[in-house]
Amino acid sequence: MTARRLIHGAAALLAAIAFGATLWSGVDDGGTALAFGVLIAVGELTRWKGGGSRRAAPLGTAGSLSYALLGAEAGHPAQHDAGQILTVVLVATLLGGVPHIWRGSSPTLDHLARRVLKVGFAAICFQPLYSRGVFEHWDGSAYALTLVALLVLTALCDAVLAAALARSRTGWPFGPLLREELRGLLGIGSAVCATGAVMALAVAVAGLWALPVFCLPLLLTQLSLRRYAAVRATYRQTITSLARATEIAGYTPAGHARRVAALSLAVGRDLGLTGTELTVLEHAALMHDIGQLSLVDPVPAGATAALPGAEQRRIALLGGAVVRQTGVAAAVAVVVERQADPYRDQPVAARIVRAVNAYEEKSRDAGVEGPLRALEELRLATAGDYAPEVVESLARVLSRDCLTLPVAG
């Protein structure tokens, strides 16, 4: 929590200084400030919530960065400073978030802190140099490359901030979180940076009419991303429905697949798995028992961990065959069919699913001491059945949850 408080404190201090300076000196280039404020507010209005606590507002971010790097409007030097830029961005972001607050989905402090620090970094690096005439005799290509380089540096700093905030909030390893943030820069992040640079350059030449023209491609990209996110959500719901087939048929207890998936994801994050690997892990954990549908006689309470190894492998192979027929990704089927193999021959996801499934079965309905006893049994079996690093990661995750299973949503 210390890193999170430091980031929030730095953002609050920077915003207070900027707001006070703007109140003292007044607003320059009011029309420009209003135009960018409206653009940023519209970007926040169209913001949507991604996975976890992510809040995607590409248009608002691009508008904020372009205002921070705006040196001129229609050939006339701009009069605003870094303090005014921060004030306009913060006020517009808060105004654009009003409908989200009304619906109970207010922007988090992390979202606001990152926006303030990101825009403040870009504006403080650029505006003093521009006002001193450093770029006055630069040719167009050198000036444009400078803006792009500054945006890249700003994006990298923001990725570090995002990873640090996520680390402080969740306790997950910093390295994988940073890798995920950097990977995101290659997608919508690059589009946001490019749009911010292009809008700043276009307004400097053509004036404020360039804003609606050059923000349109990003709006279309955002629409496509939202549709893609909706497709992925539907796909996950389909997998969840398939996973419930074993519960409906009475082969496994209610909620077993969801509990295993939730705990497997927590272990996967603790071990540093990437976003794609976590998706495969979640889907495989949801469908890990689907092979039991091929059994004539159900396993008592669906507890496959207590079965002989040969029977476990037979059920796993049947499950992999079922998964392949459903059209789910082949990587998911591989994890499902290899979950009963010796752990040294398994992929990491299969090791996680096997250990978490065994823990859930052993601790379920076992009383207060069930979780501790289940962990001890897993540790004793690390010589051949369960990967030691996975069992220790499971112990770390459970210790953070006071040795309780996570509640499945």
Determine the pLDDT at residue 67: 93
- What phi and psi, each to the nearest 5 degrees, are found at residue 361? -70, -40
Task: Give the SS3 label for residue 76.
Answer: strand
Determine the pLDDT at residue 403: 47
Q: What CATH superfamily classification does 244-400 receive?
A: Hypothetical protein af1432 (1.10.3210.10)
Determine the pLDDT at residue 398: 86
Determine the pLDDT at residue 142: 87
Secondary structure letter of residue 249 according to DSSP: T
Label each residue of 190-238 as H, E or C. HHHHHHHHHHHHHHHHHCCCHHHHHHHHHHHHHHHHHHHHHHHHHHHHH
Q: Which residues of 117-137 are buried (b: 16+ CB within 10 A; e: fewer)?
A: bbbbbbbbebbeebeeeeeee
Determine the pLDDT at residue 110: 84
One-letter amino acid for residue 74 of the chain: A
Domain locations in the chain? 2-233, 244-400
Determine the pLDDT at residue 65: 93
- What phi and psi, each to the nearest 5 degrees, are found at residue 77? -60, 135
Per-residue pLDDT of the chain (409 residues; tens, 9 = 90+): 688 889 999 999 999 999 999 999 888 888 899 999 999 998 888 876 654 445 567 888 999 999 999 988 888 888 888 999 999 999 999 888 777 777 765 557 888 899 999 999 999 999 998 888 888 778 778 888 889 899 999 999 999 999 898 888 877 788 888 888 888 787 778 888 888 889 998 998 888 888 888 888 888 877 887 787 788 778 888 888 888 888 888 788 888 888 999 999 989 988 888 888 898 999 999 988 888 887 767 777 777 777 888 888 888 888 888 888 877 888 888 998 888 888 888 899 999 999 999 898 888 766 667 788 888 888 888 877 888 999 999 988 888 765 444 444 4
Secondary structure letter of residue 188 according to DSSP: I
One-letter amino acid for residue 393 of the chain: S
Determine the pLDDT at residue 47: 76
Paired with 73 in beta bridges are 76
* Token representation of residue 214: 């050059």
* Token representation of residue 366: 């076992």
Among candidate residues 365, 340, 359, the one with its CA nearest the CA of residue 351: 340
A 10 A CB-CB count for 160 gives 14
A 10 A CB-CB count for 260 gives 28
**For residues 102 and 299, what is the distance between their CA atoms, to the nearest angstrom?**
49
pTM equals 0.77
Determine the pLDDT at residue 407: 42
